[in-house]
Structure 1
Amino acid sequence: MVSLTEINLSKAAKFHPKFEKILDSHFEGLLRNEQLSVPGLVVLARRGQSRYHKAFGVSDLKSGDKMKTDAMFRMFSMTKVLTSFVALRLYEEGLFDLEDRVSKYIPSFDRPWDIVRDSENGSESINYKSFLTGQTLNLNFHREKSAQPMLIKHLMSESSGIEYELFSEYDSFLGGGICNRNAGLVANAIRQQLHPEVYRSTCIVGANLTLEQFVDTIGRAGVLTCEPGEFSYGHGATVLGRVIEILYEQSRGTSKKFSEIMSELLFYPLGMDEAAFFLADDDPRVSRIPTLYGAVLEENGTTSRVEEEQECYPEGVEYRTNQTAHYSGPRSYESGDTGSIMTASDYSKFYDMLLDGGVSNNGERLLSPQGIQILCKGRFKDLRLNTPLAKAFGVAGEYSPFPKSFNFGWATSHGDDCALRGYTTSDHADMSNWGGYALTQGFFYPSEDSYMLVCPQLMLTTPGAFAFGQALIRDTSMSAFHSVWS
């Protein structure tokens, strides 16, 4: 099933005496960076018994309102590991096996699947409107029958074949080398023929669909970008959220929405009191949501200009709901991939519980010690990681310069296998980490009794943020954090 590494917490972990000054300087520098200036962010870090929790910059450039530590952040893909955690709670009840077929729980997935292949001479074609260029593309493709079943472990490891269209967009935009060019566009266009609301990068959680309807649309379309088992980052955790709804109803005899199950099994026990998926019109937390920004890539290709996200797309692109989806509109699609919104302080309670071996502050055990090891260090077998997309994400296992792979909703370093091989990197041999669309970042170090959350709101879907954001925010912040360890 998985390979486990024992977690040995170091309670003697400390910060360097000058850690506050060093971290302040680094994060203030992100606000003034020439390539990509971050409007504002909140940082929360822990090492041993010491904490660092500060806000930098502004929450809105027009008003000049200062960023505050209680800001509500769109966590987007940092939701994935939370979904895997909830699934593992049900797994420990014996409700499913990680090798189970997804079709065992979702009837619409009990079907043969087609893998779509980009092909100039393909027997089929479909129109797709690019959110990067505003152009309508006529894409030729052909289909191949999938030979592999989709398993629960594929949902947790984002290797289900249900890929976001974003990577195909940038594969074409940047000249190739990221993924199976156009396959994600074709698959998404086929799903949108069944329901135009189903998904797009300018409408990540704003679809006027329930989770059940969203997942069944994927099943009815019946198309994948690759065989299950190959890293194909996308809607795996969304489908996992629907599996969780079904398992909950089967075991409890009552149905609940995914957000309600997440609240019952994670948010409430940990006192994550402000964590949510959607907020009502009159919810006071709405006023604490920062403006969502993006970045336009300048013609020189080496700098970018920060604008509100909706201003970063070309004329003719129908901007949808990323800015407002959590607090207006239908508020129906509860995505286990991208749906949560909360303060950095609330998210840190999840990391605190992991460091405490699965026990909440009030002494309630949420997950067994072995379950915590699985979440933090477990690695699935029989995944195909030697692919361009896995390499682009740095999760190609032994095929990455620093061996990591994506398991249980986040990337996990491969422990003793993490020889650097002469490659300069800020990665750590005992780290789990992942980020979100808005360049939020979470770094978790079980054996170091340490973690750090870095929370801007700068959309990776926009060209300037895609070009510079990860290296600027993730990589340099990771290095700065490691530099203050004593």
Structure 2
Amino acid sequence: MQGIENIAGMSPERLTNISNHLNQQYIQKGKIAGTVTLVYRRGEVTYFDAQGMMDVERNKPMQKDSLFRIYSMTKPITSIALMQLYEQGKFQLSDPVHRFIPEWKGLRVYESGRAPLMVTTRPKRPMQIHDLFTHMSGLTYGFTERTNVDAMYRKKGIGTFDLEPQGSLQDMINDLAKLPLEFSPGSRWNYSVSTDVLGYLIEKISGQSLDVYLQDKIFTPLGMKDTGFYIPKDQQNRFSACYMRGTKGSLTLQDDPQESYYLNKPEFLSGGGGLISSASDYLQFCKMLLNNGQCDGHQIIGKKTLEFMTTNHLPNGCDLGSIATGSFSESLYDGVGFGLGFSVALDPTKSKTITSVGEYAWGGAASTAFWIDPEEDMAVVFMTQLLPSSTYNFRGQLKQLIYGAIVD
């Protein structure tokens, strides 16, 4: 490949390291089925490759337009959507959540014991909308399986990995009114169903259902034709299978694309993890973020609002390592802060990961990932379908491979 011209300051020869690494270390060894990787820099797609299989059982090769369960990569979309309403003056970030969810006014904080004999206390202050954006609300996820509050969530089916979630968004809000918080809002960071609550606030404030709002205000303006809460019939042949790591590292089918929950419109519209998308569609969202909130002539969010959202909002400028409870694989904790819906790189030397200060990102439970690096004018989208995302460190490895290809 000697003599091939660099594209947008990236070496095509060095970019082939991505394909080689994923193929040799993961696909050929049967650790993952397949991947789609997209790199976009200085207004150009510098790398776009589909590798392996989208459905091992049916011997279907991965395609560039394959569809994926993006799980928590839904969160930044929901966060942007609610901040559109913020720009219209519909709420303040300091507003108590009970202004919009009155039944949450009496929420209490877990102290000890088990239901129904548990001890709870009053929170030091009411939960604010800001706390939901930053995951400092005191809410949690059932699947983390770390505390007695997590166990109560599991009993109610809240924030679990059920293939077919039961009930509606309203049902979840009603159930959460009866459960204690993990801690007083604003005091700690804990990954949680907070962004699902943001989705509920979008419905309450806009008067539209979450799917209709996202379609009108984000997907249609950005030309995201492959993104939604379920897969229409004419797109179902592009839907990837989802796998889990089985014994000895082999793949176990977790969700069959031809029998999936996602083939029909769900009752529960999850702003925290419910969307299906393609790499190209998600890149449209990323282009908008890179371009100060604008894409294809549509201003989705204001420039200053986006800068505000991608600034570290943790108390006293601290990182996740100083304030988070437990750990979670969507982000490193040391040297990484959190904004309004995104992780934010504060100190790459502390996180020991090559990137730029100010890079913002998130990922999904099935090992998908994206990041935006404003300093390098670059966006990366990585799609695969392997639960959980902690199985392999794709994000760290992709950063080595992709930043290693920047030559100008």
Q: What TM-score, normalized to structure 1?
A: 0.75
The amino acid that maps onto 1:306 is L
Q: CA 1:92–1:388 in structure 2 vs 1: closer, same or farther (change >3 Å)?
A: closer
Work out which of the residue numbers 373, 383, 392 in structure 2 matches 1:445.
373
Using the TM superposition, give the Cα deviation of residue 242 of structure 1 relative to its aligned residue in structure 2, in angstroms. Answer: 0.8
Task: Give the corresponding residue for 1:377.
Answer: 311
Task: Give the corresponding residue for 1:80.
Answer: 75
The amino acid that maps onto 2:204 is I
SS at 2:83's partner residue?
helix
The amino acid that maps onto 1:433 is A
Distance 1:225 1:322 in 2: 38
* Alignment pair present for 1:41 and 2:41: no
Distance 2:26 2:374 in 1: 30
1:313-352 aligned at under 5 Å gives the runs 324-328=260-264, 331-352=266-287
Distance 2:58 2:329 in 1: 36
Q: CA 1:367–1:185 in structure 2 vs 1: closer, same or farther (change >3 Å)?
A: closer
Higher relative contact order (CA 8 A, sep 6+): 1
Q: CA 1:323–1:148 in structure 2 vs 1: closer, same or farther (change >3 Å)?
A: farther
| Identity across the alignment (%) | 22
Gapped regions of structure 1 (runs ≥ 5):
1-11, 127-139, 169-180, 250-255, 299-303, 312-320
Distance 2:258 2:362 in 1: 20
| Equivalent pair of 1:309/1:323 in contact (CA under 8 Å) | no
Work out which of the residue numbers 179, 182, 188 in structure 1 matches 2:153.
188
1:69-468 aligned at under 5 Å gives the runs 69-115=64-110, 117=112, 122=113, 124-125=114-115, 142-168=119-145, 181-189=146-154, 192=156, 197-203=157-163, 206-219=164-177, 221-229=178-186, 230-249=188-207, 256-280=208-232, 283-298=233-248, 304-309=249-254, 324-328=260-264, 331-361=266-296, 363-381=297-315, 385=320, 386-387=322-323, 389=325, 400-401=333-334, 403-414=335-346, 418=347, 420=349, 424-460=352-388, 466=390, 468=391
| Equivalent pair of 2:143/2:154 in contact (CA under 8 Å) | no
The amino acid that maps onto 2:287 is D
Task: Give the corresponding residue for 1:9.
Answer: none
Distance 2:94 2:190 in 1: 18
| Equivalent pair of 2:356/2:375 in contact (CA under 8 Å) | no
Using the TM superposition, give the Cα deviation of residue 419 of structure 1 relative to its aligned residue in structure 2, in angstroms. Answer: 6.1
Distance 1:373 1:160 in 2: 22
SS at 1:225's partner residue?
coil
Give per-residue Cα distances to partners, 1:142-196, cap 9 Å, x unaligned. Answer: 434332311111111112122112222xxxxxxxxxxxx3234333145x1xxxx
| Equivalent pair of 1:79/1:338 in contact (CA under 8 Å) | yes
Distance 2:8 2:26 in 1: 29
Give per-residue Cα distances to partners, 1:348-406, cap 9 Å, x unaligned. Answer: 00111122211221x1222221012123335254698524536655868xxx54x2122
The amino acid that maps onto 1:235 is V
Distance 1:186 1:148 in 2: 25
SS at 1:284's partner residue?
helix
Distance 2:371 2:206 in 1: 30
The amino acid that maps onto 2:386 is L
Distance 1:310 1:92 in 2: 39
Q: How many residues of Structure 1 are paired with residues of Structure 2 in the alignment?
A: 397
The amino acid that maps onto 1:358 is G
Distance 1:278 1:245 in 2: 18
SS at 1:309's partner residue?
strand
| Equivalent pair of 1:394/1:404 in contact (CA under 8 Å) | no
* Aligned CA-pair RMSD: 2.7
Distance 1:438 1:70 in 2: 17
Give per-residue Cα distances to partners, 1:428-447, cap 9 Å, x unaligned. Answer: 32311111011101011012
Q: What TM-score, normalized to structure 2?
A: 0.89
The amino acid that maps onto 2:184 is E
The amino acid that maps onto 1:356 is N
Q: CA 1:30–1:258 in structure 2 vs 1: closer, same or farther (change >3 Å)?
A: farther
